[in-house]
Structure 1
Amino acid sequence: MNKQELVNAIAEDTGTTKAAAEAALNSFIAQVSKTLKNNESVVLAGFGTFEVRSRAARSGRNPQTGATIEIAASKVPAFKPGAALKKEVNG
């Protein structure tokens, strides 16, 4: 499912217009992004948690040349599913 299909499904489920559903989805994405940028997590009980995880610096290899390169430490967004979502997915 892509974003437009999700917007259509939300509009149909809630009985709102597609424009209103898209505005709500865009707001949700913006708020989650802003919260993660502040290094905080977003917890949706029964669904899951959006959080920021740290990756340590490490060495890697350039696949074309085989040369060793240093990969800098970074922060990455992550999603940890909740128990209810896991149960739903697994039947």
Structure 2
Amino acid sequence: MIRSELIAKLAEENPHLTNKDVERVVAIILDGICDTLAEGGRVELRGFGAFSVRSRAGRAGRNPRTGETVQVKAKAVPFFKSGKELRERLNASADA
């Protein structure tokens, strides 16, 4: 599902809200998640999962075209750990 599909589904399920209102709500939620992660925080959505930030150390990489060794800088990457309810729903649909 992409952002526009999420907005369309939420607008369909909430006819009392305009598309612009739903767009604004989705933007606020996603911006809040991004801002919290950018500050090094953690975002937990009960039943869905938790987003956090993990650090990757710098390392020696290789340019695939030339084979030359290049230094890759340390970086922070987002990490998602699924919640128990999400895992159970996924596994229940796989068993069916």
TM range (shorter): over 0.9
**Aligned partners of 1:52 and 1:13: how far apart in 2?**
32
Bigger mean CA offset, 36-45 vs 9-18: 9-18
Partner of 1:6: 6
* 1:73 partnered with 2:74: yes
Shift of residue 49 of structure 1? 0.5
Question: How does 1:40-51 map onto structure 2 within 5 Å?
Answer: 40-51=41-52
Unmatched runs of 5 consecutive residues or more in structure 1 = none
TM-score w.r.t. length of structure 2: 0.88
Number of residue pairs aligned between Structure 1 and Structure 2: 91
**Aligned partners of 1:85 and 1:66: how far apart in 2?**
42
Task: Give the SS at the match of 2:22.
Answer: helix
**Aligned partners of 1:83 and 1:29: how far apart in 2?**
22
Shift of residue 52 of structure 1? 0.5
Two-structure CA RMSD over aligned residues (Å): 1.0
Shift of residue 22 of structure 1? 0.8
Q: Deviations over 1:37-58 (max 9, x none)?
A: 1100001111110110111111
Task: Give the SS at the match of 1:46.
Answer: coil
Question: How does 1:74-89 map onto structure 2 within 5 Å?
Answer: 74-89=75-90
Shift of residue 14 of structure 1? 2.7
Give identity over the alignment, percent. 40
TM-score w.r.t. length of structure 1: 0.93
**Aligned partners of 1:55 and 1:30: how far apart in 2?**
23
Partner of 1:90: 91
